[in-house]
Structure 1
Amino acid sequence: MYSNLTPEMSAFSLCQEAESYLEAEKLEDAFFACEKALEILPFYPLACKSMGNILQAMGKLDEAINWYAQAIIQQPNWAEVYTNIGSLYAKQKEWKPAIACYEKAIELKPDLAGVYRNLSRVCQQLGDLSLAKKYWFQAQKIESEKTALQKVNQGNILFDEGKMEEAIAYYREAIELNPSLSEAYSKLAEVLVGHGKLKEAINCYQSLIELLPENWLISHKLGKIFREIGKLNDAVEAFERAIELNPKFPWSQKHLADILYEKGNLNLALTYYRKLIKNHPNIWDAYCKIGEIFVKQEEINKAVIIYRRGIKVNPNLARFHYKLGEALSKQKKWHPAIKAYHQAIELKADNYLFHFRLGNALQNIGKLDESVISYQKAIEINSKSCWLYASLGQLYIQQKKWSDAIECFRQAIQIKPEYDKAYHKIAYIFEQLGDHEAAEKCRNKQELEYEIRKSIY
């Protein structure tokens, strides 16, 4: 039957056959199958163990011990076999060797609940009830932990199936069974964050930190949640702890620097951003933030330099070119600013602010017609801004295009009726046209529509 198999495969198959016979209580058949395996491979560990099982079932305890001992000689770290020997000694009331075998099994495999339970029974026989209770409690604890882990695995299956509420219930049951099971807290926190239940997730992560105080990633995740709900001081503390545990992870430093920036602690934020780009020069957003800090501190030259460094890191980011244009505009370096705005628009043409700022810069060098085109493009992208219409209207005033200017301010008033400056601008135009009565009415917001139409047509 096994002629085409290797000796190891043949012996293994015969051992499986022997165990099947043993389970069916066909002891003789089991014995002969195991004997054949040992003929093929003498002292084959699995066959030695199976022979011990069979002889134990036959009541031949000493012979069974000898075969188990032979299995251990071949495979010294076999905790299950030590357990079997211990049980045979216990049946013969040989308590000391039974205890020694059970303790060796636990040393090799500490999570064997049955072995602790056996030890408890031996201690009861010896009258040591305190130790018996201790072992019994340990057995229950291990079984509880295994059950808790099964709950987590079931929760994971439900999570993968999209059954979030059911998954949450299983994770909570796992935690009740084993409050020290970090995996249950971790999975529960993950699901709670996905469901937006951030306060509950915080409790999970705080429990995890108590269980795994050296795990930096838990503190990092906790910091992100605190930041999201606006608890910035708690977020700072969490990110600082994450950085202390793992100073090489850049994103904890990035989050911490961003929070300090948001809180207005610019010098300390600058310190963290500089450390960040020193160790991780490709994190482009840090260059943006450093530039913004320099602008706030009115160190425009430094801002220009850092933006240009950022552009080298990520030349395809429109935001860098726009920020550079803004810094150059503050220095009244209009031509390089215009170039920067153009580059920003090439990369992202649908940002109205880019066109508006370009229009401002063009206006400052006297290119009014080009500036008009830029303002018109900005309005095309964002037609709900009264300020864009007002800026274009002001530009038309410079060109003495009175009707176009009035129409722009009229649009601004339609968007924002309380925009007084627009009324005054229209009044100014009427004065330039010599219609002082209409100008006064505009200042007082009287008969505005009639006067505007009269002036246009």
Structure 2
Amino acid sequence: MSAPAAKQGAEEEAERLLAAAKLNPNDGGPFRSLGHHYARAGDAQRAARCFERAVALDPDDAESGEALCDLLDAEGKESLELAVCKEAAGKSPRAFWAFRRLGYLQVHQKKWSDAIQSLQHSIRGYPTCADLWEALGLAYHRLGMFTAAVKSYGRAIELDSSRVFALIESGNIQLMLGYFRKGVEQFRSAVEMAPHNHSAYFGLASALLAWSKHCVTIGAFTWAANLLKEASETAKVCTSLAGNLSCVWKLHADTQLALARCFPWEDRHIKRGMDEQNFKASVLQWRNTCLSAANSAKLSYQRALHLTPWEANIHIDTAICLDLICTMEENNSVDPIVWELPEKMSLGGLMLEPVNKDFWVTLGSVSSNQALKQHSLIRALQLDTSLSEAWAYLGKIYRQSGHKQLARQAFDRARSIDPSLALPWAGMSAENDHQSRAGAVNESYESCLRAVQILPLPEFQIGLGTIAARSGELMSPQVLMAVRQAVQRAPHYPESHNINGLVSEVRSDFQSAITSYQHAKFALGMMRRSKLDNRYPFVDVSVNLARSLCKAGLATDAVRECEELKTQGLLNVDGLQVYALALWKLGRHDEALSISRNLAENLSNMKQESATGALGFICTLAYNIAGKDSAASVIHTLPGQPSYNRELKFIISALDALQPSKRFQLPHLSTPPRLTSYDVMSEVHSNIALGKAIKFHL
């Protein structure tokens, strides 16, 4: 058809539609058809007037209403579009198209409460419209109604599984509510639906990072490391899709930094009886993995800083990362004049935000200069006196400098402000541990346990194990879990292996204890200390190893360990006891008695509690080797007014009962009751009664 003929046909059609409208002016159908005709002809104004007339006659006419709103939206007349929808919605509750369009407009204008009402009403007319459910979920989300938002997003996904926006927003809500697994599932679905959507990858990496932090708090370090590896790979894909976004590089750096902090040392592949070379290789491999992750985080932070140098937070994150690298490389400088890189980066952040209190705390934590640390923390407290982190770090500085009273006051202030902060509890635990008053050790244990439960750092966990050894709490399951985690997080610390050995030994798992003590010796050999610094820890570990070997029935190995210490002149009183016991088990009685005599010569230099324990051991050993007469002669040589512990009192009373001639008398039955427990005295008096009965029958 030629152009003139087509034009003539369009005019004839318009005349017919006008005639039909004039015949029945109250019928909206002709006006709707006329509006479509003008719209096809390009006459938007006439088309809009026709559609407007059709809607005025029939507010439920969705076709005319949508066409009218599309024309107004194309011309940018949002206010007129809003007025048309409100008018139609006010005339008829069944004008669902008007409520739907009105809801969309209100979402665009961020009028969330009004949008919820409009969208809820429109859903009655369009229950299977995924766009409506998605918009309703967004409105709920912005008002903080997370449960309702998740349900709305879920309904939208049910209707249309390719709803990437609903999947991403639903995943964000799940993370906010702490449902990490569900959030990860939502983001993974979004990645599958849109493999080139950087927002989906960013959300997935963020979800995996949040999930890994939760795993760290519950001690699942291997699980956390696996999640962080996946998060790092996901963030790397995101950088390839949106490499010009600073937040993407920062996210990758965050995942790598978290991996460097929590990557565990796996000792299940280490066979018992392994040599020092294999142990060192295993620990060095673990250390290199952590250091590699930290360096990767540094590079990503630098890339993010290059893109947005005005972001102060990235300066601070870089400072924290550099501080971790310096700690791993053990190259911290003590020169008060030279500024280290972590300090410089912290100052960079403070130059951008000089009144940020958290930045001042970070500078105080990464600095190696005591004066600068104290100045930074005090400056943070000047900005906010209720900043618990600043008080906690300040207490740590005071404690290290010997100002115990100031340290206690700072820790108390930090705990009163924020009881969920771990450092003050650990600091108070250290303070109580050095006090001699009654109950101080138990208070120290409870405080350190609280710190470990809040923040499972290996330093806190090792401290908990050390205090538990003094307070008799090594059998506690909390101590067992903490010490095992400390070995995973800090295999280069000899203390972690030594405490792990003590925990295994008290549970009669002597083979595991032997392995742990050997690992502790290997770790001591890796430390960069002088021989004098390593001498005393080496002696303690070696004595522990010899004791476990003896308990495990490996007396020959125990004797060999003690003889090595003796050759080096490092055999202490504890080692002498183990040495004598191991010799006795091997049947070398004369040598055992000789070692016990050497032990007796050192009693005057021992603490009272240790001396009485050593005396009990000597008496028991003498009785087992030479009989009761020899043991009695040993006890006759005791000082005139010794202070006996429970075990020694029992031994003396038992020997007295077995001595018919009564050559030997317990000297201290007149001890005041307040100094001797009821159980001890009842056992002692029972033995005395037994001795009298034996004497009577003889």
Q: TM-score range by the shorter chain?
A: 0.5 to 0.7
Counterpart mapping for 1:403-414 below 5 A: 403-414=371-382
**Counterpart Cα distance in 2 of 1:168 and 1:410:** 57
Q: Which residue of 2 aligns with 1:354?
A: 317
Under a length normalisation based on structure 1, what TM-score does the superposition of the two structures give?
0.58
**Counterpart Cα distance in 1 of 2:407 and 2:181:** 52
Q: How many residues align?
A: 329
Q: Which residue of 2 aligns with 1:337?
A: 294
Q: Which residue of 1 aligns with 2:35?
A: none
Deviation at 1:415, TM superposition (A): 2.0
Deviation at 1:229, TM superposition (A): 0.5
Q: Which moved more, 1:279-288 or 1:251-260?
A: 279-288
**Counterpart Cα distance in 1 of 2:133 and 2:344:** 51
- Say whether the 8 Å CA contact 2:119–2:136 is kept in structure 1: yes
Query: Secondary structure of the equivalent of 1:180?
Result: coil
Change in 2 beyond 3 A, CA 1:188/1:13: closer
RMSD value, Cα? 4.7
- Say whether the 8 Å CA contact 1:152–1:171 is kept in structure 2: no
Deviation at 1:161, TM superposition (A): 6.0
Q: Which residue of 2 aligns with 1:292?
A: 210
Q: Which amino acid aligns with 2:103?
A: A
Counterpart mapping for 1:23-422 below 5 A: 111-112=29-30, 143-145=57-59, 149=64, 153=68, 157=72, 164=79, 168-282=82-196, 283-285=200-202, 286-298=204-216, 299-315=223-239, 316=243, 317-331=248-262, 333-348=290-305, 349=309, 350=311, 351-365=314-328, 366-368=330-332, 369-396=340-367, 398=368, 401-418=369-386, 420-421=391-392
**Counterpart Cα distance in 1 of 2:8 and 2:412:** 104
Q: Which residue of 1 aligns with 2:480?
A: none
- Say whether the 8 Å CA contact 2:116–2:136 is kept in structure 1: yes
- Say whether the 8 Å CA contact 1:390–1:408 is kept in structure 2: yes
Query: Secondary structure of the equivalent of 2:58?
Result: helix
Deviation at 1:225, TM superposition (A): 0.5
Q: Which amino acid aligns with 1:307?
A: A
- Say whether the 8 Å CA contact 1:189–1:202 is kept in structure 2: yes
**Counterpart Cα distance in 2 of 1:184 and 1:390:** 55
Query: Secondary structure of the equivalent of 1:264?
Result: coil
* C-alpha distance after superposition, 1:37-66 (max 9, x if no partner): xxxxxxxxx8xx99xxxxxxxxxxxxxxxx
**Counterpart Cα distance in 1 of 2:136 and 2:86:** 19
Q: Which amino acid aligns with 1:358?
A: C
Deviation at 1:218, TM superposition (A): 0.8
Deviation at 1:273, TM superposition (A): 2.5
Q: Which amino acid aligns with 1:340?
A: A
**Counterpart Cα distance in 2 of 1:438 and 1:291:** 38
Q: Which amino acid aligns with 1:322?
A: A
Query: Secondary structure of the equivalent of 1:383?
Result: coil
**Counterpart Cα distance in 2 of 1:380 and 1:345:** 18
* C-alpha distance after superposition, 1:423-452 (max 9, x if no partner): 5466558759xxx9999999999xxxxxxx
Q: Which amino acid aligns with 1:375?
A: S
Q: Which runs of 5 or more residues in structure 2 are unaligned?
A: 33-53, 217-222, 264-289, 333-339, 414-698
Change in 2 beyond 3 A, CA 1:240/1:403: closer
Deviation at 1:147, TM superposition (A): 8.9
Deviation at 1:214, TM superposition (A): 2.1
Q: Which amino acid aligns with 1:346?
A: R
**Counterpart Cα distance in 2 of 1:15 and 1:421:** 84
**Counterpart Cα distance in 1 of 2:87 and 2:186:** 42
- Say whether the 8 Å CA contact 2:103–2:118 is kept in structure 1: yes
Q: Which moved more, 1:418-427 or 1:210-219?
A: 418-427
Q: Which amino acid aligns with 2:315?
A: Y
Change in 2 beyond 3 A, CA 1:325/1:244: same
- Say whether the 8 Å CA contact 2:320–2:342 is kept in structure 1: no
| Percentage of matched positions with identical amino acids | 13
**Counterpart Cα distance in 1 of 2:408 and 2:236:** 56
**Counterpart Cα distance in 2 of 1:335 and 1:151:** 59
Change in 2 beyond 3 A, CA 1:327/1:303: farther
Deviation at 1:278, TM superposition (A): 3.0
**Counterpart Cα distance in 2 of 1:442 and 1:265:** 37
Candidates 1, 9, 12, aligned match of 2:4: 9
Change in 2 beyond 3 A, CA 1:384/1:209: same
**Counterpart Cα distance in 2 of 1:15 and 1:371:** 77
**Counterpart Cα distance in 1 of 2:156 and 2:344:** 51
**Counterpart Cα distance in 1 of 2:377 and 2:331:** 22
Q: Which runs of 5 or more residues in structure 1 are unaligned?
A: 1-5, 20-45, 51-77, 88-101, 103-108, 115-139, 446-457
- Say whether the 8 Å CA contact 1:171–1:184 is kept in structure 2: yes
Deviation at 1:259, TM superposition (A): 1.7
- Say whether the 8 Å CA contact 2:358–2:380 is kept in structure 1: yes
Change in 2 beyond 3 A, CA 1:355/1:380: farther
Deviation at 1:314, TM superposition (A): 1.9
- Say whether the 8 Å CA contact 2:395–2:411 is kept in structure 1: yes
Deviation at 1:260, TM superposition (A): 2.0
**Counterpart Cα distance in 1 of 2:86 and 2:67:** 9
**Counterpart Cα distance in 2 of 1:360 and 1:290:** 25
